[in-house]
């Protein structure tokens, strides 16, 4: 029996490319940069393996060759894929759940600590050669330990952040559609409305999924409900944030600092972020560990293979 044809839109870790070539007739790509001819290069392929920066909207999916039966995404989020359009075409979609929660939570905690303790400013000061030595008032930041952390979106990643934050003796609050069972809540305090949740958030971590329901969730109105001097971090989706509102709050001091790993329209980002000292900017590093990216590759390739074999894997979505 011939192996199915898999078109891969970006470079993958070497071990995953090797597995792809073993399990499929793999059409690998030499570049990490988004390509514009997905439809043409998918001709004759049974499956497409894409990445978060590849926009597979309804028009693109409608234009895909009839040979394509599966779209796999090298990510847990799939809001860059029009799943309804794929379903209408009879194309299944699978992703990489469960395996990146710890790595992304680590990144969120990195952003939280770096933003609170002004690590970005300090690193730039040392590199500039302008550091004159220790001083009592130099780069005074915000202590993390013992403070209140609000988590918007208490899924797997949110719960991992809560677990790590307890090591800093933080008081955990969360906002979600429904309350977790006690064994998952682990003492965290549930809020079913913004008015009780936001005012207690000395630190706010955004961990909700993307999509129309959460687009620009953190805007001017919600920012105004945060306590003055709050710290905000986002390692989930850039679309959760209204950039203009966050930038204005960072300038006014309503928000003391922010840490961002994701952006609206990335790799482009609002240019005003680059003018602010009190924001830590990372290039979407949430799942960027060797262990995690290898695990992501294995699960998405396994899901694609299972669907092509007529099975329903646990990572099928839609």
Return the active site residues: 237, 266, 284
**Is the separation of the CB atoms in 226 and 201 below 8 Å?**
yes
Nearest to 206 by CA among 99, 111, 288: 111
**Is the separation of the CB atoms in 253 and 229 below 8 Å?**
yes
Per-position b or e across 57-82, b if 16+ CB within 10 A of its CB: eeebbeebeeebbbbbbbbbbbbbbb
Using omega within 30 degrees of 0 as the cis cutoff, is the peptide bond preceding 122 cis? no
CA distance 70 to 304: 6
Main-chain dihedrals φ then ψ at residue 125, nearest 5 degrees: -65, -45
CA distance 255 to 110: 18
Pairing relationship of beta strands 148-152 and 203-206 according to DSSP bridges = parallel
Sheet containing strand 230-234, edge to edge, reads 189-191, 171-175, 148-152, 203-206, 230-234, 255-260, 279-281
Nearest to 284 by CA among 122, 82, 52: 52
Pairing relationship of beta strands 230-234 and 171-175 according to DSSP bridges = unpaired
């Amino acid at each position: 029996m011939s192996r199915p044809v898999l078109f891969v839109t970006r470079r993958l870790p070497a071990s995953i490319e090797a597995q792809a070539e073993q399990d499929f007739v793999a059409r690998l790509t030499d570049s990490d940069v988004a390509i514009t001819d997905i439809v043409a290069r998918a001709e004759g392929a049974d499956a497409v393996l894409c990445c978060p920066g590849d926009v597979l909207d309804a028009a693109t999916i409608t234009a895909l060759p009839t040979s394509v039966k599966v779209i796999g995404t090298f990510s847990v989020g799939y809001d860059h894929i029009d799943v309804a359009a794929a379903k209408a075409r009879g194309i299944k979609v699978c992703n990489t759940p469960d395996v990146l929660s710890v790595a992304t939570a680590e990144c969120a905690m990195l952003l939280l600590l770096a933003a609170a303790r002004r690590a970005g400013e300090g690193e730039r000061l040392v590199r500039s050669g302008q550091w004159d030595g220790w001083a009592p008032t130099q780069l005074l930041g915000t202590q993390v330990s013992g403070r209140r952390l609000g988590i918007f979106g208490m899924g797997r990643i949110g719960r991992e952040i809560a677990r790590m934050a307890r090591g800093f003796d933080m008081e955990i609050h969360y906002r979600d559609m429904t309350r977790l069972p006690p064994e998952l809540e682990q003492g965290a305090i549930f809020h079913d409305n913004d008015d009780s949740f936001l005012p207690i958030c000395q630190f706010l971590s955004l961990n909700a999924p993307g999509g129309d329901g959460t687009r620009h969730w953190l805007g001017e109105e919600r920012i105004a409900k945060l306590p003055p001097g709050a710290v905000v971090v986002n390692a989930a989706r850039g679309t959760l944030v209204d950039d203009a509102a966050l930038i204005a709050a960072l300038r006014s001091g309503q928000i003391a600092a922010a840490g961002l790993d994701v952006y609206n329209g990335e790799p482009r980002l609002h240019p005003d972020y680059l003018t602010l000292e009190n924001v830590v900017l990372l290039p979407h590093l949430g799942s960027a560990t060797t262990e995690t990216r290898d695990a992501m590759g294995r699960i998405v390739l396994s899901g694609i293979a299972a669907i092509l074999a007529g099975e329903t894997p646990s990572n099928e979505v839609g």
